[in-house]
Amino acid sequence: MKHLRIGALLSAILVVAAACTGTPAKSSTTLVVALPGDIVRTDAMLTDDSNSSYVIQQVIEGLVGLAPGSTSEIVPVLATALPTVSKDGLTYTFKLREGVKFHDGTDFNADAVVYNYERFRTVPEGLQDYSYYIGAVFGGYGDSSNLESATAVDDYTVEIKLKAVSSNFTLTQTLPVFGIQSPTALALGLADNSEVDITKVTGAQGGAGAMVGTGPFIFDSWVVNDNVEIVRNDTYWNTAAIAKLEAVIFKPVAEETQRVNGLADGTYDLVQVIAPADVATIAANTGLQAIDRGSSFNIFCLQMNHTYAPVSNPMIREAIAYAIDKESLIETFYAGAADVAKNWMPMDVQYALDLELPTYDPAKAEELIAASGETDLTIDFWYPNDVTRPYMPDPKGLFEAISAQLEAVGFTVVAHDAPWRGGYLDDEYAGAYEMWLLGWTGDWAGPDNFLKTAFFGYVDGAPSTEFAYKNNKLEAAMNAALAATTDAQAQKLWEKAQNLIRADLPTVPIANSKPQAAASIDVKGFVGSAGLNEYLNLVYLDRAGN
Amino acid sequence: MARYIIRRLLAAIPVLLGLSLVLFAYIRLLPGDPCVAILGQHRTVETCAKLREHLGLDLPLWQQYVNYLTQTLSGDFGNSVINALPFTQEFLVRFPGTLELTIGALIFAIGAGIPLGRLAARRVGGWADGLITGISLFGVSIPVFVLGLALAVIFGVALGWLPTQGRIDAHFRFDSITGFLLIDTLLAGRPDYFVDVVRHLILPSVALGSIPLAIITRITRASVIEVANEDYVRTARAKGLAGKKVDQRHVMRNAWLPVTTVIGLQVGGLLGGAVLTETVFVWNGVGRWVVDAIQNHDYPIIQSTILVFAAFFLIVNLLVDIGYAFLNPRIRY
């Protein structure tokens, strides 16, 4: 009995003591940020996921970047001005900032920039799986790369030559993957293209030479799946923008509810993205704030494959567009944090037009169906059963609501579902689905990224298996737009492409969602951007008494 | 004794081999592959095919198995297909977290289970017995993740008494050396951090320890009742020995045996339960890691983790069997 009493007493004391010590005073110099997932690698070039980019952009800077809060306004960063472009559109000249040093003390100059671009051009075969954006932007590597050369004209002038005109070049260079890293660190981390086995590239794996840039924060450590720590760069070249925080810790938290709970109990100070369903919870808590990012950088569509009847009939597709009540979907599933889609890309993207897409009108839909001549109105319709996406917060709910709206005008919907990674994405891409739910989150704010890459660009010279949407004029217009040497020319061609797509209505755009961030009320200075180019050196913690 | 241990270790080899085959087959039967996890919205049929080839997933299954086996036998447990980090290094980073949690749960389960079991056995059919038996029935019935979520919501979110995520407050920026935060915080001379680590440990330990607690309570109760009815206990009492002495020297010594077996078996169950508990409490341990790996079809990580867990389970059971010899002089190997 004595043991029992002592045991019980001890555990009781322990629990009470621990519970009563209360939370320690909150730090006013360390910001803890909950990300939806862990970073994947610590080398800008060898990443293609948004979590890695989010951290990397605090540490590594490019020649150009995006203005805080914007997805498309290009500003010079390590360059002193936007590049001058030669008449033939092939040569870009960048003037570089002087007196900048990388975090390891290496000088930033033309040689460093040339070293980085040469690296982009010659990514070895074994690493190309990990450098998606380099391949996507330059069309390949080595001889197939659109990068002809990068040369140092003098210590602080670099000339980048392209093989073919690419009107999106400057915009794409704002992506964090094109950040300029210290050549010394890249060599130290075996990230100088000499090592083709990614497991040995310590610069990409958080080891020696990892993430050495010129930015306002310095990479400190990465404990995989637990945290990434970056600390203030006290000698940042932009003295007006030296970070106010001493350190930022990024924690990967996959569950939306856990992120919000952790924010409420002080585990996290900032949650990068919350579910629409949690907006009300945040609003009800006076200690927290939801942060609206203003615009959207994604698109959610009702996708269709034109090899299947009846969706192969343009009048049927038009009817479907009229049958869907987009506003009610936004109200129900996005807690209002979305815009009705006006295009196949968000409206902040370059040259985006309001294409005056059909608005909810079931009577009109029924008329179009009657006029279409289609008699079999059965549609096989798919949704993913195990994920949510930023543009699609509740796939099953959206599916049911859309199905009901389609059936209300006379369609017969055959419901199907599949696991996201175990069939859905493979099958829709291979053309196995007639109608399905899918969207796209932008990589850069150029129309090519949405209209061509995400949706309707031909694959190997033929319509994609995904949509089986054939329009040679559209393909020609998009290619010509990318090869345009002037902005005016590019704009004209992209507008033509948009109108061609509108005329065919190959799929039905539904919404541009605006995933919100949330933070403790004392987080100040955070400038949200729909493209997640958010710079934490501007953030400070307003915690009295600390 | 040495011969017995060697025999047991040799017997473990076919078990692990068989397990590796079943595991391999089972994991490959899961629909999907790592391509979507790695390439995301940028994947195409071509890049996926290239990636599969690069990862050796285009080879015939038997060849993949042979490769995997030869690799594992040579001590190379493979690299993650998602971030290419080596298994062994990443496992060692996370294992201390799982071990701390498992030990916390065991302390809770044993520390509360044995006294409760003894208490219930004192007055069989009394109100304490009824209450304890009822609680332990509840403990066995409730799934770990339900209890974990309930504890987190009640004591974390609603009452704000205890933290519900992670192993230590990230604001401390504490750099662990050994991975064992309970030890490291003390070595660093930060008792305040140590208290924070303990606070983080409480709810997950209770959640994870609930099932072993229930089982240990019931086994202790049953075992004590059985032993207490033995003739030699009656003799001891008849001799006029004090109740406490009888309890300690005659009842408990013999009642320990089944309790020890059960504790040993529970360690394996704890490793399985850690998968759920770590996910609920955002605990950086092996369990949460393997859940991520399963979602990403990260084959080498899943295979190697489960294999290591199985080996761990076999070793713990061997230790339990050896422990018998000390507890019961009648058992000799």
Q: Do B170 and A267 touch (CB under 8 A)?
A: yes
List % helix, strand, coil for chain B (3-state, nearest 5).
Answer: 80, 0, 20
- Facing B289 at nearest CB: one of A30, A225, A426: A225
Dump pLDDT digits (tens) for B15-30: 888 988 888 888 887 7
Dump pLDDT digits (tens) for A88-109: 999 999 999 999 999 999 999 9
Is residue A399 pLDDT above 90, yes or no? yes
Written as one letter, the residue type at B269 is G
The ipTM (two decimal places) reads 0.82
**Smallest CA–CA distance from A21 into chain B, residue:** B195
- Altogether, the residues listed in chain A come to a count of 546
User: For residue A411, what pLDDT is reported?
Assistant: 96
Dump pLDDT digits (tens) for B269-292: 788 888 889 999 999 999 989 988
Dump pLDDT digits (tens) for A367-389: 999 999 999 999 999 999 988 88
User: For residue A25, what pLDDT is reported?
Assistant: 60
Is residue B65 pLDDT above 60, yes or no? yes
Dump pLDDT digits (tens) for A12-30: 555 555 554 555 566 789 9
- Facing B85 at nearest CB: one of A18, A26, A224: A224
By the 8 A CB rule, do A491 and A353 touch? Answer: no
Instruction: Look up residue A324 and give its DSSP letter.
Output: -
Please indicate if any CB of chain A lies within 8 Å of the CB of B196. yes
User: Residue B106 and residue B113: Cα distance in Å, rounded?
Assistant: 10
The burial class, CB within 10 Å (0-12 / 13-18 / 19+), for A478 is buried
Q: Which residues of A touch B41 (CB under 8 A)?
A: 440-441, 454
Q: Which two tokens stand for residue B114?
A: 């044995």
**Smallest CA–CA distance from A25 into chain B, residue:** B171
State what percent of residues in chain B have pLDDT above 90. Answer: 20
Quick count: other Cβ atoms within 10 Å of Cβ A320?
Answer: 27
Residue B59 confidence class, pLDDT cut points 50, 70, 90: confident
User: Bridge-partner residues for A338, per DSSP?
Assistant: A513
Q: Do B45 and A430 touch (CB under 8 A)?
A: yes
Dump pLDDT digits (tens) for A427-480: 898 899 999 999 999 999 999 999 998 999 998 889 999 999 999 999 999 999
Integer angstrom CA distances of residue B20 from A528, B26, B32, B303, B305: 48, 10, 20, 7, 11
User: Residue A523 and residue A542: Cα distance in Å, rounded?
Assistant: 6
Q: Do A265 and B118 touch (CB under 8 A)?
A: no
Q: Do A24 and B202 touch (CB under 8 A)?
A: no
**Chain A interface test: which of B91, B171, B277, B298 (most A C-beta within 10 Å):** B171
* Alpha carbon A468 to its chain's center: 26
- Mean residue pLDDT of chain B comes to 85
Question: What is the separation, in whole angstroms, between the first and last Cα of chain B?
Answer: 5
The burial class, CB within 10 Å (0-12 / 13-18 / 19+), for A371 is exposed
Residue B11 confidence class, pLDDT cut points 50, 70, 90: confident
3-state secondary structure of A248: strand
By the 8 A CB rule, do B57 and A15 touch? Answer: no
Residue A198 confidence class, pLDDT cut points 50, 70, 90: confident
- Facing A18 at nearest CB: one of B85, B152, B199: B199
By the 8 A CB rule, do A497 and A451 touch? Answer: yes
Q: Cis ω on the peptide bond leading into residue A310 (within 30° of 0)?
A: yes
User: For residue A62, what pLDDT is reported?
Assistant: 97
Q: Do A262 and B37 touch (CB under 8 A)?
A: no
Please indicate if any CB of chain A lies within 8 Å of the CB of B43. yes
| B 106-165 → A contacts, CB under 8 A | 108, 111-112, 115, 118-119, 152, 156-157, 160-165
User: Residue A142 and residue A119: Cα distance in Å, rounded?
Assistant: 10
The arithmetic mean of pLDDT across residues B114-121, rounded, is 89
Any idea what the Cα angle at residue A323 is, between residues A322 and A327, rounded to 5°? Answer: 85
User: Bridge-partner residues for A79, per DSSP?
Assistant: A96
User: For residue A5, what pLDDT is reported?
Assistant: 56
Q: Which residue in A153, A147, A170 sits closest to A85, CA to CA?
A: A170
**Smallest CA–CA distance from A466 into chain B, residue:** B44
How many residue pairs bridge chain A and chain B with CB atoms within 8 Å of each other?
140
User: For residue A545, what pLDDT is reported?
Assistant: 47
By the 8 A CB rule, do B106 and B209 touch? Answer: yes
Residue A546 confidence class, pLDDT cut points 50, 70, 90: very low
The arithmetic mean of pLDDT across residues A217-240, rounded, is 94
Q: Which stretches of A217-257 are assigned E, i.e. beta strand? A: 217-223, 227-232, 247-252
Q: Which residues of B touch A223 (CB under 8 A)?
A: 93, 284
By the 8 A CB rule, do A335 and A348 touch? Answer: no
Kindly write down the DSSP assignment for every residue of A101-126, as one continuous string: B-TTSPBPSHHHHHHHHHHHHT--GG
* Alpha carbon B240 to its chain's center: 44
Please indicate if any CB of chain A lies within 8 Å of the CB of B175. yes
By the 8 A CB rule, do A440 and A349 touch? Answer: no
User: Residue A212 and residue B93: Cα distance in Å, rounded?
Assistant: 24
**Chain B interface test: which of A425, A449, A455, A541 (most B C-beta within 10 Å):** A425
Q: Do B165 and A421 touch (CB under 8 A)?
A: no
User: For residue A1, what pLDDT is reported?
Assistant: 47
User: For residue A88, what pLDDT is reported?
Assistant: 93
Higher pLDDT, A357 or A15: A357
Q: Do B111 and A454 touch (CB under 8 A)?
A: no
